[in-house]
């Protein structure tokens, strides 16, 4: 769907959190300028000057044709955090980090034909699957063959178009400093991505490509990192955190911090963004609580959950979502309010649009009683009714409740709790007795604890004594905890939430958005993606948002490269 739309000042709590996360900044509260000004570069900016001669040449082929690519590896901040050699990665396994600064490094790959092109776009690619910390890496390696016409080769498409490819490393959940501190806590990944953008802006006149034409790209956790950065461009909230790591364009100190460089982007290409984490569990259970059962809910680590435990928790958690959604005041395309009473209807209408597109393209969409076939399951269609057949078929009816049950049958649902999962509902490895980081709980809290519960239900029901989280350890109810002096959780939740900045003030969001979430993707709720879509299109600074629920696609990204890059090319052409 393509539609055209008709501050927080940094607090003492934010500065405290900055000192914890960055390990370099800290201090008292600061008022940060949201509008960049021109000033003489400070010492840190001088140290971040781009060296055009410091590159290696990589030989690749694109569509069978040889291409030379200049490749630069750059630490993009002046005060990078030195990391431990052993790091946690996706799934909780460990890896050895060969470069202690790989989480704050970019790899810039420039096709030789674009070396002198100051206008070409920058494809700014982030990773962070599952919101896990991400060392910089690139697939643009010696001898690699790319196919620009493939629907799954976005790097090949970018190189063919002459774009500069920027692969970005960021700290995030699981990141540990050399001295043992957990330094990937929110908002570290967003801050690091913004710092990388600021490096590109600082050196725009010295580097190929235009930092005014940055197109961010990411999937899953990286999809929301894309959305969080693209929604919050130039906002003052981030300035103390940027100062703590020596990001470009921050001047002053203490209460006089200001920004001289922008960190907004031109476009966001976000696949299945795991977004709005503070409300994601409530949204997930609002979507799935009616179909929750012990049999369709994943059990982790061989744990046999108590009968009925997770369905009961699901019902309790779901109750919080209507109040949140109804309080946003978002409007649908017809001008009516988007509410908990009609968001399922709105999602259904988006699904119908996608199915209608598929029918028009000749896709054999099954009739009632025929089978939907995915890579995971073959399931009879009991939710979609068509009138007619072939490309002349029309949608006679879509039973949304049965569709949700179909999605839950196609792939087992996430545990309850899906996102704030640590220390609750028996989410413990049966063999080791260790509480599993299956959700994003370890993205929050301070650097001295591995995790902190970040939602009301999980905080209240925390089952682990001594973890520094929950009523059991603190004696504080959820509301008292959020209101307590020096608490930083509310700030952490806001600074990684694109909806907070799209519906707030003081930011310069990307004007162009391309967002996709697969029709059988149960990794976050459809309602959360429909909400995000409307938050984007409700922002007056957004010129266009293309949003779809791609037909029978699961949790993945960069599967529609030709469509996405045609869209990118069109937006760039309209803004020469």
Residue among 2, 258, 269, 263 at smallest CA distance from 126: 269
Cα atoms in the Cβ-side hemisphere of radius 13 Å centred on 175: 33
- 14-28, 227-241, 272-286, 366-380: segment of lowest average pLDDT: 14-28
Q: What is the pLDDT of residue 37?
A: 43
Q: What is the pLDDT of residue 430?
A: 66
Q: CA 425 to CA 280: how far, in whole Å?
A: 17
Torsion of CA 306, 310, 315, 318, to 10 degrees: 160
Q: What is the pLDDT of residue 304?
A: 56
57 against 256, higher pLDDT: 57
Beta strands at 378-380 and 258-259: parallel, antiparallel or unpaired: unpaired
Sequence-ordered list of residues with C-beta below 8 angstroms from that of 10, at least 6 positions apart, any chain: 29, 30, 31, 32, 236, 237, 239, 240, 257
* pTM for the predicted model, two decimal places: 0.93
Please give the C-alpha separations between residue 142 and each of 59, 122, 147, 160, 428, in angstroms, as whole numbers.
Answer: 5, 21, 15, 17, 43
pLDDT greater than 50 at residue 10 = no
The tokens of 161 are what? Answer: 């178009």
pLDDT greater than 80 at residue 426 = no
The tokens of 172 are what? Answer: 């995030």
Q: CA 426 to CA 494: how far, in whole Å?
A: 28
Q: Which of the four pLDDT bands, split at 50, 70 and 90, describes residue 34?
A: very low
Q: CA 281 to CA 220: how far, in whole Å?
A: 16
At which residue do the structure tokens 């206008």 appear?
Answer: 119
Q: By 3-state DSSP, what share of the chain in percent is helix, strand and coil, each rounded to 5? A: 35, 15, 50
Residue among 462, 486, 488 at smallest CA distance from 475: 462
pLDDT digits (tens, 9 = 90+) for 103-156: 999 999 999 999 999 999 999 999 999 999 999 999 999 999 999 999 999 999
The tokens of 311 are what? Answer: 């369905």
The tokens of 52 are what? Answer: 């055009």
**Contact (CB, 8 A) for 488 and 470:** no
pLDDT greater than 50 at residue 24 = no
Give the neighbor-by-neighbor strand order of the sheet with 2-3: 2-3, 544-548, 512-516, 267-271, 214-219, 122-125, 164-168, 105-111, 65-75, 56-62, 145-146
**What rounded mean pLDDT belongs to the chain?**
91
Q: CA 23 to CA 130: how far, in whole Å?
A: 24
Q: CA 62 to CA 159: how far, in whole Å?
A: 8
The tokens of 270 are what? Answer: 């976000």
pLDDT digits (tens, 9 = 90+) for 453-490: 999 999 999 989 999 999 999 999 999 999 987 789 99
Cα atoms in the Cβ-side hemisphere of radius 13 Å centred on 480: 7
Q: 390 exposed, middle or buried (CB, 10 Å; 0-12, 13-18, 19+)?
A: exposed
Q: CA 254 to CA 503: how far, in whole Å?
A: 29
**Contact (CB, 8 A) for 254 and 30:** yes
| 68 strand-pairing partners | 59
Q: Which of the four pLDDT bands, split at 50, 70 and 90, describes residue 373?
A: very high
The tokens of 58 are what? Answer: 């990589």
């Amino acid at each position: 769907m393509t539609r055209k739309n008709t501050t927080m000042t940094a607090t003492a709590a934010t500065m405290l959190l900055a000192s914890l996360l960055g390990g370099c900044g800290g201090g008292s509260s600061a008022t940060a300028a949201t509008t960049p000004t021109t000033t003489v570069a400070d010492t840190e900016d001088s140290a971040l000057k781009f060296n055009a001669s410091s590159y290696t040449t990589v030989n690749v082929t694109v569509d069978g044709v040889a291409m030379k690519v200049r490749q630069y590896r750059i630490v993009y901040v002046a005060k990078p955090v030195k990391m431990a050699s052993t790091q946690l990665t996706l799934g909780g396994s460990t890896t050895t980090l060969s470069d202690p600064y790989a989480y704050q490094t970019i790899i810039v790959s420039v096709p030789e034909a674009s070396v002198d092109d100051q206008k070409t776009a920058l494809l700014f690619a982030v990773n962070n699957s599952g919101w896990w910390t991400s060392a910089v890496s690139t697939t643009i390696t010696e001898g690699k063959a790319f196919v620009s016409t493939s629907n799954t080769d976005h790097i090949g498409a970018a190189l063919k178009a002459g774009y500069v490819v920027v692969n970005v490393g960021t700290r995030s959940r699981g990141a540990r400093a050399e001295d043992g501190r957990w330094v990937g806590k929110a908002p570290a990944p967003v801050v690091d991505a913004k710092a990388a953008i600021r490096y590109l802006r600082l050196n725009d006149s010295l580097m190929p490509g235009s930092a005014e034409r940055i197109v961010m790209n990411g999937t899953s956790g990286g999809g929301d990192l894309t959305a969080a950065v693209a929604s919050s461009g130039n906002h003052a909230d981030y300035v103390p955190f940027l100062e703590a790591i020596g990001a470009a364009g921050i001047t002053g100190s203490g209460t006089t911090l200001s920004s001289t460089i922008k960190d907004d982007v031109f476009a966001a290409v976000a696949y299945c963004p795991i977004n709005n984490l503070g409300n994601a569990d409530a949204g997930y259970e609002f979507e799935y609580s009616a179909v929750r059962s012990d049999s369709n809910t994943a059990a982790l680590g061989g744990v046999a959950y108590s009968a009925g435990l997770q369905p009961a928790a699901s019902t309790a958690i779901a109750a919080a979502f209507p109040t949140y959604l109804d309080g946003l005041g978002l409007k649908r395309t017809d001008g009516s309010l988007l509410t908990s009473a009609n968001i399922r209807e709105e999602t259904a209408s988006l699904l119908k649009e996608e199915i209608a597109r598929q029918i028009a393209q000749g896709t054999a969409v099954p009739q009632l009683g025929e089978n939907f076939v995915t890579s995971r399951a073959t399931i009879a269609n009991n939710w979609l009714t068509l009138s007619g057949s072939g490309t002349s078929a029309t949608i006679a009816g879509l039973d949304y409740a049965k569709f949700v049950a179909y999605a839950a049958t196609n792939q087992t649902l996430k545990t309850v709790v899906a996102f704030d999962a640590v220390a609750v509902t028996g989410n413990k490895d049966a063999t080791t007795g260790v509480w599993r980081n299956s959700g994003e709980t370890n993205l929050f809290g301070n650097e001295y604890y591995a995790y902190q519960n970040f939602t009301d239900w999980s905080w209240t029901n925390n089952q682990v004594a001594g973890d520094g989280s929950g009523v059991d350890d603190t004696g504080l109810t959820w509301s008292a905890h959020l209101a307590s002096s020096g608490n930083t959780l509310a700030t952490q939740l806001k600074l990684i939430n694109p909806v907070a900045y799209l519906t707030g003030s003081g930011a310069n969001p990307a004007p162009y958005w391309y967002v996709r979430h697969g029709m059988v993707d149960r990794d976050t709720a459809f309602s959360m993606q429909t909400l995000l879509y409307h938050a984007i299109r409700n922002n007056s600074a957004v010129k266009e948002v293309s949003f779809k629920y791609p037909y029978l696609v699961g949790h993945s990204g960069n599967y529609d490269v030709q469509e996405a890059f045609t869209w990118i090319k069109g937006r760039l052409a309209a803004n020469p």
